[in-house]
Each structure stands twice: as C-alpha cells, then as structure tokens.
Structure 1
Amino acid sequence: MATSLPLSDQEHDRVTAFIYEFSNTVLHTPVTQYDCIYRSHAFAESRAVLVLRSTAGSFALKVDTESPATGRLKDEFELLVDLSRYFERTDTSRVVQPVYLSPGGAFLVTEFIDRPTAVDLIYNSKDDNQVAQVYRRAGSWLSDFHSRLAPVNYGFRPKWMIDSICELAATVPDDIAQKSRKMIDTMVTEGERLKGIEDLRVFSHGDFHGQNLIIGQGKTYGLDFTEVCEKLAVYDIVDFLKADIFRDGPASEVDQSGILRRNKQMFLRRYRLPIDTDILDFCIRGRLLKDWLDYWRTDFACSAFEEFRRTRLEMRLDIAFDTAN
C-alpha cells in the first residue's frame, strides 16, 4: 500500500462530503478508512486519488475539482464503461471497473486493485525474469487497447520533438549544452531521414507510464484515461519503455534506443500491430534526451530522486549516442 499523503482541513471536508455521497448512494454501508495515495504534481490543489475501505470492499476515489467545468472525469467514466465491455473479449487485458460518477462531476469511483503497478516491479524487483514478464504483459495490454479502433497510416513528423529538444538545450548550463550537441545533431540527421515515413496512428492512452498499469494475478489492468487521443502508436510505447532506465544491465545489452534489448523485445513480443522500429528508436532516444535536459534546466531544482533519474538517463544516453568518451 502506498504511503498516505496529508490532506488539508479543506481537503478533508471536501473528501468527507464525497465519501458521504458515495456511501449513501452506492454502498449503503460506512467507509471505515480512507487514505490519499496520489496527488497531481501539476494540479496539486485540484487532483488527487484516495483509497476507500469498507465492509463492501475497497475503492479508488478520483478527485478533480475543476472537472465540473471541464467534463474531464465524466468523459473518463463514460470511456471506462465502454472499455470494460470492450476488454471482456480479451483473455487477460482489463481496465479498473467504473463504480460511480458523481452527478456534480467532481469525483468518480472505481474498484481498487491492491496489486503492484508495473513501475513498482520495474523499479524494485530483483528478478529480471519477472520484470521481463511485466514488459510482455504491458505490450499485450497496449496491443489490445490500440486495436479498439482501426489504425490508420500517418506520416511521421519529427520536427516537434527536435524543436522541443533544442529549446531545452538553450536553458541548461554550457557544459550540458555542449555535451548534448552531438546527440542533437544525430537526432536532426535521423529526423530528416525518417520524416514522412508512414507509421500507425491509433486510439492512444496518452499517458501510458507504468503507474497506470496494474499487474494482477493473470490479468493486467489499465487505468487513468483522461489523456486519450489519436496519435502515433509509438508514443504510448515510448512512455512505457522509458522506465527501463532504472534496470541494471551491461552496456552490451542496451540497444541503440537506450533500452535494455531483452525488455524491449519482450514488450514487442505481444504487441501485434506493425511498428516502424527506426521511428520507435528515434522517439525513445528523443524522449530520454528531453527528460535529461529538462532536469538540467537552470531554473529547475531537482529532488534527490530526480537527480538519481538524471544520472540514470545520462548513462543510457551515453550508450545510445556513443558519447561516453
């Protein structure tokens, strides 16, 4: 269970009212315990997730106080209902089951699955075989999700990524900007070669990092569908694979994308849609480079974990771009 995060008095009052509404409308039994397990970094005042405990079971309560105006949670709840039916035709892929949407739109409730997320295992497991299976299951789940709507061919456009990398490189210390120069030059050359090549545009999760995938017993559960959109399939794959920087392995086992070869292969083993691997590798390296430069911005103060992640990113970038010497 994740560590409970503190709530202000105002948040306690708000959450208590939400729990009262849910309990009276659906459970008809009291909630005996609640803990805040997530608070949005970018929207700390308005978005949070809590776990509710009762004799009727455990539930996740997702709060977004701006949602009554934006419709964000209403859209997600309706999509969860649709996805629940869609995934019934698959063997192992599921989503968390929707339970309740407040008529006011400020919160929704789903089942709570008390199992590790993919990130929990990727970051912490000592068993490389177990982690490889996490990647295999993630590829299978995403393949099922991307197959919900028919994919379409779409020409690759690398300019946005290169532009954002160059913008970040202008905000970092001179020595970091100098080191990144060779990497950026490589990205520009590769981008020119790949520009316009057709790849698949699909119904995408939009935020497919490992905290949004729960590894259950025989089932894999997706959650958090507030960023769904249509875009190239590779971007969801990149979002998931980038967590691999926290896995140890010799440089000889890291491929040109900066990811451990075995884990990427395990992910793609059950991902059934055709993907241009050159575009995938380009996008992975670009994302790792963006994240590394972002942590070096002169106006950004890293936490201890972010400094550690920055170091891990640099290790992989040195291998991927051959800049260690």
Structure 2
Amino acid sequence: MGKNINRMRNFKRILICILVIIFSFGISFLYYINRQLNNIVITPLPKDNSELGIKSNVNEGGVNENKIFEREEKQDNSILNIALFGVDSRNSKADVPHSDCIIIATIDNNHNKIKLSSIMRDTYVEVNGHGKTKITEAYFYGGPKLAIRTLNENFNLDIKDYATVDFKGLSKIIDNLGGITANIKQYEIREINKWIAELSELQHVKYTPVYRSGSQNLNGIQAVAYCRIRQVGDGDFERTDRQRIILKEIFNKIRNTDITRYPYLAAQFSSYIETSMSKSNIIALGSKIVMNNILTVDQQRFPVDGYCKAAIINKVWYLIPEPDLKALSKQINNYIYEDIKPIAKEPLF
C-alpha cells in the first residue's frame, strides 16, 4: 500500500514538472513571437462604431431605419471580420495608393472555417464625403479608415480592423514561405511575364519569366504578377479569383509550417504589414485559429455573375450592383454570417 502511495506521489511530481516545462516553454515562445512583431506598423482605428460606419440594429427610437436588413447582433464574437487591402505604392510617398485588392477575411467559428470575400474594385458605392464612385477610391481618399467605413456603410458589416500589404511586401512574404503553387493557364503566360518584368525592374531583381502553363511553384514576384493579370480571361473578375488563390495558398503554407518556425515568419512578415490590430490581438487570433484547428478556407467574389452590369458614367467605367446595392449587401451578409453562398446566374454583359 505504501509503495503505491509513493508511486502516485512520484507520478504527480513528474506530471507537475512536465506541465511546468510546457507552460514555461509556451510563455517563452509567445514572448519571443511578441518581440518579432516589433517591426509591424500598427495604426489604431477609432473605437467609436459610428466613425467606422457600423450601424446599430436598434436605437432609442426602435429599429434603425438606415440599416439595410435585419441581422442579429453577434455578441459572442463567433464571426470576426478583418479587411485586407493590397496596395501598390510604387515606392513613392507622393503616390497615394488605391486598394487594388479588397478582401474581407472572416474567421467563422460557427462553421469552423475562414472565408475570403473579394469585393470588385470598380463596384459603384457611396463613399462618405465623396459621393458615388468606385470602392477602390475610398482607400485613396481616406486610407484604411475610410475604406473600412465604406465597406461597413454600404454592406451593413461590422469590420473594426484591417491589414494592408504593399505588393512589394507580399512578394517578400511569399519568398520567405518558399513560393506558392498556382495553375497557370496558357492565355495567362504573356500577361504574367509582362508584370514580372515590370515588378522585377521596380525591385531591382533578376527577371525570371514563366515558361509554361500548368501547376507550378511561383516565387514572390511571379505570384504577385499572377495577382495583377486583368487583361485576359474574365478581366478583373478573374483577377479577384487569382488574388484569393494566392491568399489561400499563403494560409495553407503557414498552416503546414512547423510551429517552431512561427517566430521566424513573424519576424520576416512584420516589416511588410500595416494593421490596426495590437501585437497581443494578432497572437491571440493566430492562437485561436491553431487551437480551434480551423482548416477550411472558403472563398467568394462579389458581386457575383448575373448580379451586376457595366455602366459608363462621366466617361468612367463602373460596375453597378443589380438589382441594387441592397441586394448585394444581403448576399454578402448571408455568406459571411449565415454561411449561405449566393447562386450565380448568366452574366448581364
């Protein structure tokens, strides 16, 4: 009996020692990652929902007449939306960038997936203080704050944070991941090489063209060039598809990377990212994705085929949501909050 008690005590001691070691390693690991994020540019956004264009479903007078349609408030943070912007600054401080890439990244804990919702850059929306124009202009006029406000006000969303990556920085991130895989179509080769040449010249690096079609590993500049293609296929519609493909591949690369390399990746990535999220929030978000084992990445483009039309207004080409902006907002909300994908129909043009 005494031997059994001693064995139990020894087992408890060993277990406690193991837990202490694991806990200490975890604290040290998180501290190290936190230090590696020191180079990230953090630009906080206002905490006031009204400044970010977030509508309240209910006010003192009852139902808010300005809201686009009914949606229950998510009090448990089960749905988290973050705006992702890809910009091309051309290395000039005087050249204010447009958001060539606009993606709403949704961490959907209800359905255990990440959703990537592309918004077409030419979509005709209301931009506060600037009237009706292309949604890409919002970033040009007021940076990420106005861009987020535009997304929230036009699509009845609750985005409070963003991350912006310059295309040069994106190429460096992809290189640090060892490149990404993409399936190049024959009709894309000429266009991708045109962009590779331009990006290589801007970054003063060797020009490495793509020689063949099919699935292949792309380096950073090649992958960014792939995202820039818009003059072939379905034009800008297909370009947003390519952007989501690259983003999904980046996520998969990070997910499949040994966790011990995360501090290294954090150090490499932080120099190329501007965000409103604090370092602690970034670590918490990453930990939540890992701990919840969120493996599925779903994607959608808005407006979808058959629910938009082209229009020339004052000699400028716009993409007009059909039948109206309210219908587009409902489709976006159904997808993000209810996991209901819109059904495309024959294009109107």
TM-score, length basis structure 2: 0.22
Higher relative contact order (CA 8 A, sep 6+): 2
Larger radius of gyration: 2
Structure showing the higher helix proportion among its residues: 1
TM-score, length basis structure 1: 0.23
Structure showing the higher strand proportion among its residues: 2
